[in-house]
Structure 1
């Protein structure tokens, strides 16, 4: 083979390699992202699904797993507002901050960024929609307690679908505004009675469900499959015109079980969240173009799975290593590292150990939402 022929073959090989690399990159770029946040959930909380759930935990379906460090800007132990803002905006900020940087300036959230890229967005939570985690994805306030102000931030219209509690922050306000009417005027189809079905909102431009005065009921109080059903409804609604979408769903009340040192409350909520994971993974496996990321803002309660404490006939206490028991070391948050589980295109990016605000940067990197707009 002469030099000319060798050169031709080499050039053809390089062109083929570049094309293959480009195609591989395109294949690994997710169209949709579903971020599932289990508030207050560390590895011990996750482990309860392996001991107390009647079926195989859906956590076992992940192959790409990492760990995040959860400190806020000025404190080793974060709260949910700073933790969620790290996820939603990619910045470390002060505890109680909602969608603002450490200097209190407004930062663009992933919901706002995605919306500017014509990506449909949805938020679902078992808390109020104005609570720390969901509020950090659309709100911009210096304190998580400013629920009335966070509710007003929803009027910016960047959220196309939402389902949670929190009706009183929209209708029972000191300023006497009726934000449900204002949302309706902004083309939101608002339901305050029941989740309903896709046919009822299919023709709507935007949809919102405010189904409790404040937080949604506990699982033990009959909440049922709200998180799974609302997320499935959100997926159908946001993708109805084959549009790309971003959804954040929070299992809010795992955290509250930890704060209360109530193991059964925690376990009930964690198992519900694991069922949600199963529904989302079923969709993602079928779809093939959806990245699923599952993590938590922090651990709550210093929760431990330990041997059950039992007493002998003489009253002395001993550890029964044949039975799993539960215990707590605090009523607040802890600084333990938090697992990250990822599935789908781009999921390999979430392996390793990194800071919590890198969840944001990794999502926008693999989706390409961080690219500069040309129009």
Structure 2
């Protein structure tokens, strides 16, 4: 009896004394629709095919976007607040109101928690929104300095435009060559498969990529999918910011066709990210905007002819209307799915996004 009991007791001792390996901190995906207000999101419900992926969220809130210098923010001031938790002035790239560098969430997760990091943008990778996650300059137009700061940022995966800021420089530096010397696998021609054993960078246009109406294709969903595949192969948590830049440009252009197609492309990308979260529960996806552009509304659509001063309504249709071609002070939506999603509903200032993202990461330590 005793000789049978001893092995059993030994097995129980070992089973309960072996430490359980802790799950790594949650992956964080931040999807930003530049210029995307509630009306822009609504366009996916009226002009898209099928049910938009936005409808898959149940945790939704609203975000105040004003900077410390302006009631109506620009992308730099707003992205600085989101990336650093510090509200600053319009045109600031992750510096405080007195132009002191402020650590970004990408930098903090990289340095303090061992995260892999990635950025995707349809504009130059040195443009305001992506730049605010790795660079620190007093003015958003300092593209050449921002590009130089990408060199030392250690970002593991990036894709977008802006090649000229790396290769056609007044200081004579070839930053593209410098990235290669740091071990990056680079591509300036196409979104070719990433190498999971190296850092990867894609600079696929001299400045910005084309819009959808100019024939961009599926760059945004493809880059998002490629980034997710790349990070999944790493033995570390990841932070991944993806920007749908041209929703903003459609508002500036007051181009309804462009807006509808850019939001549809954004929603397609969103579907890929949501599928990933559902398959990888230790992941948080937050979707928001830096600001709204165009004062957009969805209103009645009328026949173009005006008869005796009366407009004839088309009851079965709506139209995209623009109030201006500039940014507005409207609150923007925020959606959350996955680990820590309950922290994101409500109405709050944009710098709170940073705070809540960090709370999710720290709560899992």
TM-score normalised to structure 1 length = 0.88
The match for 2:167 is 171
Cα distance change, pair 370–84 in 1 and its aligned pair in 2 (3 A)? farther
Displacement after TM superposition at 1:71 (Å): 0.5
Superposition CA RMSD, Å: 1.8
Aligned residues: 343
Displacement after TM superposition at 1:250 (Å): 0.2
How many angstroms apart in 1 are the aligned matches of 2:55 and 2:74? Answer: 28
* 3-state SS of 2:213 partner: helix
How many angstroms apart in 2 are the aligned matches of 1:81 and 1:287? Answer: 32
The answer (yes or no) to whether the contact 2:134–2:153 under 8 Å persists in 1 is no
The match for 1:330 is 324
The match for 2:58 is 63
Q: Deviations over 1:201-224 (max 9, x none)?
A: 1232x1100001110111122221
Displacement after TM superposition at 1:327 (Å): 1.1
Q: Among 87, 90, 93, which residue is 1:95 paired with?
A: 90
* 3-state SS of 1:56 partner: coil
Asked if 1:184 is matched to 2:184, the reply is no
* 3-state SS of 1:221 partner: coil
How many angstroms apart in 2 are the aligned matches of 1:342 and 1:30? Answer: 17
Cα distance change, pair 288–103 in 1 and its aligned pair in 2 (3 A)? same
Asked if 1:80 is matched to 2:87, the reply is no
Displacement after TM superposition at 1:238 (Å): 2.2
Cα distance change, pair 350–175 in 1 and its aligned pair in 2 (3 A)? same
* 3-state SS of 1:37 partner: strand
The match for 1:15 is none
Displacement after TM superposition at 1:237 (Å): 1.6
How many angstroms apart in 2 are the aligned matches of 1:350 and 1:158? Answer: 29
Displacement after TM superposition at 1:313 (Å): 4.7
Asked if 1:317 is matched to 2:277, the reply is no
How many angstroms apart in 2 are the aligned matches of 1:141 and 1:351? Answer: 32
* 3-state SS of 1:265 partner: helix
Please, which runs of 5 or more residues in structure 2 have no aligned partner? 1-19
The match for 2:122 is 126
Displacement after TM superposition at 1:67 (Å): 0.8
Q: Among 180, 199, 208, which residue is 2:201 paired with?
A: 208
The match for 2:215 is 222
Asked if 1:283 is matched to 2:279, the reply is no
Displacement after TM superposition at 1:322 (Å): 3.0
The match for 2:10 is none
The answer (yes or no) to whether the contact 1:30–1:345 under 8 Å persists in 2 is no
The answer (yes or no) to whether the contact 1:114–1:369 under 8 Å persists in 2 is no
Q: Deviations over 1:304-359 (max 9, x none)?
A: 11101223555642443432012111111111111100000100000111100000
* 3-state SS of 1:173 partner: coil
The match for 1:154 is 150
The answer (yes or no) to whether the contact 1:189–1:207 under 8 Å persists in 2 is yes
Displacement after TM superposition at 1:232 (Å): 1.4
Kindly report structure 1 stretches of 4+ aligned residues shifted beyond 2 Å. 309-322
How many angstroms apart in 2 are the aligned matches of 1:296 and 1:334? Answer: 12
Q: Among 134, 138, 143, which residue is 2:139 paired with?
A: 143
The answer (yes or no) to whether the contact 1:301–1:328 under 8 Å persists in 2 is yes
Give the stretch that moved more between structures: 135-144 or 222-231.
222-231
How many angstroms apart in 2 are the aligned matches of 1:59 and 1:323? Answer: 21
How many angstroms apart in 1 are the aligned matches of 2:307 and 2:95? Answer: 58
Q: Among 234, 238, 253, which residue is 1:241 paired with?
A: 234
How many angstroms apart in 2 are the aligned matches of 1:72 and 1:362? Answer: 19
The answer (yes or no) to whether the contact 1:364–1:370 under 8 Å persists in 2 is no
* 3-state SS of 1:183 partner: helix
The match for 2:4 is none
